[in-house]
Amino acid sequence: MAGLTLKRPTRPRALISLVPMIDVMLILLVFFMVTSTYLNLDMIPAARRAEAPGAPPSGPGESGTVMIRLGADGVPVLRGRAMGGAALTAALAGVLAETPLAQVIVLPSGAATTQALVSVMDAAAQAGAVRLRVVRLEARP
């Protein structure tokens, strides 16, 4: 039995090893998993370009003005009556049904929270107000 050698068939080698690629992909995966945040964010315009100087002013006859005062406790007051979100939307919708182009002016107290202002802007948007202004507080914080 001298000279019997068994040759194993040579296995075809892959051209490029996949292991480094898997390593890189796993590192990328962990990176994106760690750096991801799952906040779903929207936006509300606070300064519209259309309100810039040069926008055509609307005639005084076709529009009125509705002022919503936002108290320090965050309760909006429309025409002397304090009302919450749904009531404010209904009241504003009633006003806007008569004068669709009425300008809604929000006069917020400096002590009210951002959520209170956003809620009022939300109610105005749901009532169909197209012209909404927030009176800015100029005092330094």
Partner 1 sequence: MKLNRPSPAPHSETIVALIDVVFFLLVFFMLIGRMDATAPFEVHPPVADSGSDMPAGGATLSVGAAGDLALDGQPLAGPEALAQALTRRLGPEPDLRLRVNAHRDAELRHVLPLVGAAEALGVRDVVLVVTPGPVP
- List the 76-78 sheet strands across, edge first: 81-82, 76-78, 65-70, 103-108, 131-134
Among 16, 46, 56, 57, binds partner 1 (CB under 8 A): 46
CA gap 117, 64 in Å, rounded: 22
CB of 26 closer than 8 Å to CB of 94 = no
User: Closest distance between partner 1 and the C-beta of residue 92, in Å?
Assistant: 13
Among 2, 11, 54, 60, binds partner 1 (CB under 8 A): 11
Pick the closer one to partner 1 by CB: 2 or 43: 43
Q: Indicate the SS3 state at residue 65.
A: strand
User: Closest distance between partner 1 and the C-beta of residue 57, in Å?
Assistant: 19
Please work out the total of residues on this chain that contact partner 1, with binding judged by CB under 8 A: 54
CB of 115 closer than 8 Å to CB of 74 = yes
- Residue 36 near partner 1 by CB under 8 A: yes
CB of 48 closer than 8 Å to CB of 37 = no
Binding site for partner 1 (CB under 8 A): 6, 8, 11, 14, 18, 21-22, 25-26, 28-29, 32-33, 35-47, 49, 52, 70, 85, 108-119, 121-123, 125-126, 134, 136-141
